[in-house]
Structure 1
Amino acid sequence: MSLKDNVDYVKEELSSEEKFLESFVKVERIYKKYKMLIILAVVVILGLAIGLYTTKTIQEKQKKEANIAFNQFLENNQDKDALKTLEENNKQLFQIAKYIQAKKENKTYDIEVKFFKEIAAYQKALDENSIDKLNAVSMEKDFLLKEFAIFNKALLQAKEGKYEDAKATLKLIPEDSQVNDLATSLKHFLVTK
């Protein structure tokens, strides 16, 4: 290795060390300039992480307590402590429990849980033999028993002697519906009317 190569090597090493020190100084300046913002950002991120973890832990605990309380309620529907725990931890399970309790006592309870609410409205319409209420229930977009409600509406119309209305109502049931066999039987009955 020649002297010139050694000098070039030393210059290159000094140059890279200078660049490193220069970048370190720039970072230090930025840190000093934005020290409060950086510290605030770190604190906020840590706070959010701790908050999310705590919230998730609390929700899991409430979910577990609500499930245990619901199972206790199913074993004994007079368990007031289980109902109170459900009311505090899970409003939907509480409403379902109150609905079950009301059904066992032959009472009505207005439930606000999505599918149960629709099924309760459907059952009420059937109990009252109300074509208008069955019509309203069957018009719900996500109702699970939509075709069955339409069939029951047609059945009530046929019982009332509104045969043409019943035929028109049966046309609303799709061909691929599981209720189609029942609808076909009713259509055959209505052919003679």
Structure 2
Amino acid sequence: MSIQDDVKYVKSELSGDEKILESAFKLETLYKKYKLLIWGTVAALLLFFIGSTVMESMKESRLADANKAFLTLQKNPADASALETLKTKNPALFELFSFSEAVKKQDAAALKTLSASKNEVVADSSKYVAANLEKREADSKLYKEMAELEGAYLAIKAGDSAKAKEKLELIDARSPVAPLATLLKHATLKVK
């Protein structure tokens, strides 16, 4: 029996080697058939990773330059080169800096320009501050209750207590400006 066992063992070993060899031939055939696709995919993946690394590096460099320009502008707001660098490297930060400077200088013309910004926060804030500087009512999403309060104050100054009451009723009792609204409501009583 040992010879039969040896023969079976040799046959199984040969069939195992045949299967490995057969698999290798199939793999070689697949490789030859799809060689361009395989290498194209590898090249595309390499280009993607290299490209994304380069783009990320360029973005970080641009932001570092913008931050350096912003820090320079905080020390010296009149620095024209830093202002231009900030404008080209980070337009959103440039708008925010311009808004800040316009508010400090109370520059209504600059605020009107900024009110056309694509950045909704800068645009809304600019409209609100410009209206306050011109002492007229403002329509603001961010400063809604403050705008209502100021509108009521302007109405009281104009002697229109009914309009002032309407505006003051729009302010929620849980709002931080509610105590001021209550004071102005009392002021409308005195206007009569």
Q: TM-score range by the shorter chain?
A: 0.7 to 0.9
Write the distance in 2 (CA, Å) between the matches of 1:181 and 1:5. Answer: 100
Q: Which residue of 1 aligns with 2:45?
A: 45
Greater Cα shift, 1-10 or 76-85: 1-10
1:163 is matched with which residue? 161
Q: List per-residue Cα deviations over 1:96-117 (Å, max 9, x = no partner).
A: 3334444555533222243232
1:88-139 Cα shifts (integer Å, max 9, x gaps): 21112223333444455553322224323222211111122222xx1x32xx
Contact 2:155 2:161 (8 Å CA) reproduced? yes
| Residue identity matched to 1:174 | D
Q: Which runs of 5+ in 1 are unaligned?
A: none
Between stretches 45-54 and 5-14, larger displacement belongs to 5-14
Q: What do residues 39-78 of structure 1 show as CA deviations (whole Å, max 9, x unaligned)?
A: 1111111111111111111111111111111111111112
Amino acid at match of 2:31: Y
Aligned residue number for residue 132 of structure 2:
126
How high is the sequence identity, in percent, across the aligned residues? 37
Distance in 2 (CA, whole Å) between partners of 1:184 and 1:7 is: 105
CA distance 1:185–1:101, shift in 2 (3 Å): closer
Aligned length: 185
The 2-side partners of 1:35 and 1:169 are apart by 74
User: 1:36 and 1:59 mapped to 2: Cα distance?
Assistant: 34
Unaligned runs of 5+ in 2: none
C-alpha RMSD over aligned residues: 2.3
2:175 paired residue number:
177
TM-score, L = length of structure 2:
0.82
1:72 aligns with 2:72: yes
